[in-house]
Chains A and B, each alone.
Chain A
Amino acid sequence: MAVRRYRKRYIVFKSESKSEVEKEKVERAVLQSTGKLLGFYGAGRTRLRFLPQFWKKNQGVLSVDHAEVPKIKTALALVTNVGSQKVILYSTKVFGTLKKIKKMYGGKLNGSIT
């Protein structure tokens, strides 16, 4: 049976804090916040993925289902702490393809940008 491919959106987000935060901790905080806001079922529907290869200078990329972007933005806004550090996580732009993000970062198409 044919399964339709879902449409992805890529949310570029930044973190504002006194010092740099670790990407593993940010990933955990975002996933926890999404789970808290939407529950297991809702969080699963968002198809949320943290793309670690795009983490650079307190800036990262999330991959989500196209219809769930507002929910993930709210979940990002609900993050107050990463580890023991106070942070503001905020989305800056939403892209439809990774190609455009790579262009924005100035990296090569097939290579890692970090």
Chain B
Amino acid sequence: MYYDFWVEEIDLKLMEKLGFQASCYVSEFRDWGSYSDAKKENDLAGVVIKAGNMKEFRTKIREFRNADFIVLDSRSEKTTEMAVKLNAVDAVTFHARYPTIKKMAEKGIAQIINFNDLLNAGDKAVENNLKLMQRSVKLARKYGAPLMVVSGAKEKMECRAASDLIGFGELLGLTAKQAKDALTVHQEALIKRTKLKDEGKWVRPGVELEDDTSGSFSGGLV
């Protein structure tokens, strides 16, 4: 079961053909209302937060903190570092270096490897992007940070098959198993969290409500 967690135009039939179980509609929304409309149409909806500085990030994250999947798309290392520190996002696109990626591993924030950065880049940018991606993969493997390989498709024809994204992961230096995990593990955790949120059982990271099966209160001080 593979998941593509960054698609801006979803065609369910095509996604099934390409070998995906589910996909997440991700876009940069202006307000919570437009996000809610997108959420009604799709099982999962994510938000891309584009922020150049911390002030901009704070104002945007306040509105979308209850979204299913939050991605920080920032070119600023400082903003990424602070967002990771605050544990306010699920994934980052900035190719983080040592101290940040270690914190990402501790907090379970994923490093995104976006195939679209390669597909729509110029000749020189492709080389640079490949270099950064390879460095990110190397560091994520070293410190155990979660990785997400996504197609980042802006239109239907930019979607790519699961097997090709696995091959892309292997090209960047992952083993076959790690490349497959990059399309499943973190995504499944996010789907599980969304289900709990919808049922009203999710409180905050690490705190979930469980059904009381015994019928009596068993906690508290004795």
Residues of A at under 8 Å CB distance from B? 16, 36, 69-74, 76-78, 80, 86-88, 90-92
Is A77's CB under 8 angstroms from B157's CB?
Answer: no
The count of A-to-B residue pairs whose CB atoms sit within 8 angstroms is 54
Interface centre among A69, A87, A90, by most B CB within 10 Å? Answer: A90
Inter-chain CA distance A70–B168, complex, in Å, is: 6
Provide the B105-128 mask, 1 if CB < 8 A to any CB of A, else 0: 000000000010011000100000
Q: SS class of chain B's interface: helix, strand, loop or mixed? A: helix
Within 8 A of A (CB), among B158-181: 158-161, 163-171
A-B contacts besides A91-B161, A91-B164, 4 pairs, CB < 8 Å: A70-B169, A73-B168, A74-B168, A92-B161
Given A70-B171, A86-B157, the answer on whether A91 and B119 have CB atoms closer than 8 Å is: no
Inter-chain CA distance A36–B119, complex, in Å, is: 12
Is B14's CB under 8 angstroms from A16's CB?
Answer: yes
Is A90's CB under 8 angstroms from B167's CB?
Answer: no
Contacts of A86 in B (CB 8 A): 157
Is A80's CB under 8 angstroms from B157's CB?
Answer: yes
Given A16-B17, A86-B157, A88-B157, the answer on whether A77 and B171 have CB atoms closer than 8 Å is: no
Inter-chain CA distance A90–B14, complex, in Å, is: 12
Is A73's CB under 8 angstroms from B157's CB?
Answer: no
Inter-chain CA distance A113–B208, complex, in Å, is: 58
Inter-chain CA distance A16–B118, complex, in Å, is: 20
Contact partner, B164, options A16, A77, A80, A87, Cβ 8 Å = A77
Contacts of A77 in B (CB 8 A): 115, 119, 160-161, 164-165, 167-168
Inter-chain CA distance A72–B163, complex, in Å, is: 11
Query: In the assembled complex, how far is the CB of residue A91 from the closest CB belonging to chain B, in whole angstroms?
Result: 5
Contacts of A69 in B (CB 8 A): 167
Is B14's CB under 8 angstroms from A74's CB?
Answer: no
Contacts of B164 in A (CB 8 A): 73-74, 76-77, 90-91
Give 7 CB contacts A-B under 8 Å.
Answer: A70-B167, A73-B166, A74-B171, A77-B115, A86-B157, A88-B18, A90-B18
Inter-chain CA distance A16–B157, complex, in Å, is: 9
Is A92's CB under 8 angstroms from B163's CB?
Answer: yes
